[in-house]
Amino acid sequence: MSDNGLPVVNSWNEWDPLQEIVVGSADGAAFEPTEPGNRPQVRDGSAASFPTGPKSAEVKALANEELDGLAVLLTAQGVTVRRPDTYDFSLPVRTPHFEVESQYCAVCPRDVMITLGNEIVEATMSRRGRYFENEPYRRLVYEYWESDPRVSWTVAPKPTMSDAMYRADFWDWAIEERHQRMHASEFCVTQAEVVFDAADMIRFGRDIVVQESMTTNRAGIRWLKRTLEPKGFRVHPVHFPLDFFPSHIDCTFIPLRPGLILTNPDRPIHSDERPLFTENGWQLVDAPEPMLSNTDMPKHCQSSKWLSMNVLSISPTKIICEAQEKPLQDLLHDLGFEVFPVPFRNVFEYGGSLHCATWDIRRDGGPEDYFPSLTRERIR
């Protein structure tokens, strides 16, 4: 049990006062491998092939310095910070269904692990190089699970990640074809198996919003619905039709406190899905243009410039933002937040920023209903 009587694992949304969190680590990190679910490219526009093998000691040290800085800030705010175990991601993986030359990293626990109330859920993951990315968190999960009988632990079914799970030609689609097929929600993963990354979900108390994407398919969303709805959650699929390579919702749609969602002006939510939020009193506020353009992002980063809006809430009034994102800091300040800037640009190399690089374990609060119109509909 935690000091204030809450279950040791208790986190229902993205903003309630934070008590305990896992911050990622670049130890053991490798370059993400080329595979059917991912075709990483060097960002400088050159035809250079993407590197393989372990990341350099220097690149890992630079990221670790910033991850440690985030841990220091959180600790100073009274938050307990935990870290993953070291794991050698340069090791290959061979299963009966696939083989991959290396794995990736433990910089972004949010991609893999999610706390839904008092339950830890481990995602299926969508890429071969991330098949075992839950391993660095295994010791922590056992510790939480053993220490409090109110904590439950669910591991989603592991997909085969065999060739049939992917559309291998996805990466070569011309823009016209991509446009057509993405409106039919066709991405690099097929519907053959249950597939989701944890970071395609964002939490609003009883309501879980899930993005259909390159990393989460409709079968994955059906699994989440059937697993979570009997436990009292409501699962809502969402789509951002102008995002041609959607992966992970936390650079697109981030709730900051009850009634306020930070949105991505390049990726408006589908017009049919917007009323769920606006009719329940949620204001959608666009993030300002990021300080870095897509071409200025670190050479090996596979995420977009919108890592700028990947903020982490300490509470409904305190928020952590990347140090150089001044326009976003100003907006958050104007919206009434106390803003804590931290340098995090060297973590971008690993495809994530402050939200991606963390995994909430415990926040105050419980399963509130932030969508009263849904409850009224059910009663009617």
Residues that bind ligand ABU (CB under 6 A): 247-248, 251, 303-304, 306, 351-352, 356
The H or E element spanning position 199 is none
User: By C-alpha distance, which of 365, 380, 372, 377 is closest to 7?
Assistant: 365
Name every residue whose Cβ is closer than 8 Å to that of residue 72 and which is 6 or more positions away in sequence.
none
Spatial separation of the C-alpha atoms in residues 105 and 32, rounded to whole Å: 8
Catalytically annotated residue among 16, 27, 197, 207: 197
Distance of alpha carbon 122 from the chain centroid: 12
What is the rounded CA–CA span in Å between residue 210 and residue 269?
12
- Give start and end residues of each alpha helix (H) in the chain: 57-76, 138-147, 175-183, 218-228, 274-278, 326-334, 372-379
Nearest of 274, 266, 361, 260 to residue 319 by alpha carbon: 260
Pick 248 or 363: Cβ nearer ligand ABU: 248
Which among 16, 188, 239, 248 is annotated as catalytic? 248
Q: Least distance (Å) from ligand ABU to the CB of residue 127?
A: 12
Cα–Cα nearest to 117, from 372, 356, 365, 370: 365
Please say which residue, 111 or 207, places its beta carbon nearer to ligand ABU.
111
The CB-of-25 to ligand ABU minimum distance in angstroms stands at: 17
Q: Which residues contact 317 (CB under 8 A, 6 or more apart)?
A: 257, 336, 337, 338
Shortest distance (Å) from residue 16 CB to ligand ABU: 23
DSSP class of residue 250 equals G
CB 68 within 8 A of CB 346: no
E strand map for 165-216: 201-204, 207-211
> CB–CB of 74/203 below 8 Å?
no
Catalytic residue among 188, 251, 321, 356: 356
In angstroms, what is the minimal distance from the CB of 318 to ligand ABU?
Answer: 23
User: Judged by CB, which is closer to ligand ABU: 294, or 375?
Assistant: 294
Q: Which residues contact 94 (CB under 8 A, 6 or more apart)?
A: none
Between 64 and 304, name the residue whose CB sits nearer to ligand ABU. Answer: 304
Q: Which is nearer to ligand ABU, 139 or 270 (CB)?
A: 270
Cβ 353 to ligand ABU shortest distance, Å: 8
**Min dist. Cβ of residue 342 to ligand ABU (A):** 18
According to DSSP, residue 363 is labeled E
Among residues 219 and 251, whose Cβ is nearest to ligand ABU? 251
**Alpha-carbon radius of gyration of the chain:** 19
Question: Minimum distance between the CB of residue 321 and ligand ABU, rounded to whole angstroms?
Answer: 16
Residue 361 CB burial class (10 angstroms; 0-12, 13-18, ≥19): buried
Q: Which is nearer to ligand ABU, 247 or 313 (CB)?
A: 247
**Is 356 assigned a catalytic role?**
yes
Q: Is residue 239 flagged as an active site residue?
A: no
* CB nearer ligand ABU, residue 118 or residue 247: 247
Question: CA-to-CA distance for 375 and 380, rounded, in angstroms?
Answer: 9
CA atoms within 13 A on the CB side of 351: 21
197 is catalytic: yes
- What is the closest distance, in whole angstroms, from the C-beta atom of residue 209 to ligand ABU in the complex? 15
Q: Which residues have a catalytic role annotated? A: 197, 248, 356
